[in-house]
Amino acid sequence: MNIIMLGAPGAGKGTFSAFLEERYSLPHIATGDIFRENIKNNTELGQKAKSYMDQGLLVPDELVVSLVADRLSKDDCKAGFILDGFPRTLVQAEALKETLADMGAQIDYALDFECPDDFIIERMAGRRVCKGCGASYHLVNVPPKQEGICDVCGGELYQREDDAPETVAKRLEVYHKETQPLIDYYEKEGVLKCVDGTIGRDNVFKVLAEMLG
């Protein structure tokens, strides 16, 4: 089962990917992790990606596709995978389709986790991260036992710049501009499934389990 995760920043893709990974024993593949792994191992593709990133440039679609294709060729992807953060553009979506076709595979589900912008802005505004160990909390949903203090290591909790309301609003604007064409694309492909991301984590888990079997 080959799955693509779609959804705005803060829609819960990471949490839902972890659920799917455990339930179906599928590798969760995030583009950022692929970049870091290749750069760490000093692969040829990693060196090329790093040359762009060091200049503050976007890694070209062709190279991103090559990195993803290389990852999907690994043994742990034979039974399927969960792609998170890719594709981001129609060019990447078409390239992914061709890459999978060459492997005798295709996308089975493109899961779009839908949340209104104001819901996401409110959700992310409440997120806090530990400066020490990186543990994540939410002031309403997963509050720390002691305000401003990490339960795990006692470190100071802070709000990341990315989670500030004005920053989130800008990220959502970019997301809608980039991703709406992808949603239309996968709807035409007949694999798009929309999931209400506002109904609570456990309810989303139930919906996914019923939807995917």
Q: What's the CA gap between 101 and 8, in Å, rounded? A: 28
- Among the listed residues 48, 50, 88, 97, the single catalytic one is 88
Q: Which residue type does 40 have? A: K
Please enumerate in sequence order all residues whose Cβ is within 8 A of that of 181, keeping only pairs 6 or more positions apart, or say none.
89, 90
- Among the listed residues 13, 71, 123, 128, the single catalytic one is 13
201 is catalytic: no
Q: What average pLDDT values come out for the chain (213 residues) when binned by 10 residues?
A: 93 90 94 86 89 82 89 93 91 93 95 95 91 90 93 95 89 86 96 95 95 92
Indicate the domain borders of the chain. 2-116+173-212
In 3-state terms, the chain is what percent helix, strand and coil (to 5)? 50, 15, 30
123 is catalytic: no
- Among the listed residues 71, 123, 128, 171, the single catalytic one is 171
128 is catalytic: no
Is the Cβ–Cβ distance between 90 and 60 less than 8 Å?
A: no
For the segment 55-95, what is each residue's pLDDT rounded down to a tens digit? 877 788 888 889 999 999 999 999 999 999 899 889 999 99
74 is catalytic: no
- Among the listed residues 123, 127, 128, 193, the single catalytic one is 127
Q: What is the secondary structure of 116-169 as a DSSP string?
A: -HHHHHHHHHTEEEETTT--EEETTTB--SBTTB-TTT-PBEE--GGGSHHHHH
pLDDT of the residue at 141 = 82
pLDDT of the residue at 95 = 93
pLDDT of the residue at 191 = 98
pLDDT of the residue at 80 = 95
pLDDT of the residue at 118 = 94
Please enumerate in sequence order all residues whose Cβ is within 8 A of that of 155, keeping only pairs 6 or more positions apart, or say none.
130, 131, 132, 133, 149
pLDDT of the residue at 59 = 83
- Among the listed residues 160, 170, 201, 206, the single catalytic one is 160
pLDDT of the residue at 30 = 87
- pTM for the structure as a whole: 0.82
13 is catalytic: yes
Q: What's the CA gap between 28 and 86, in Å, rounded? A: 12
Q: Is CATH 3.40.50.300 the right assignment for the domain spanning 2-116+173-212?
A: yes
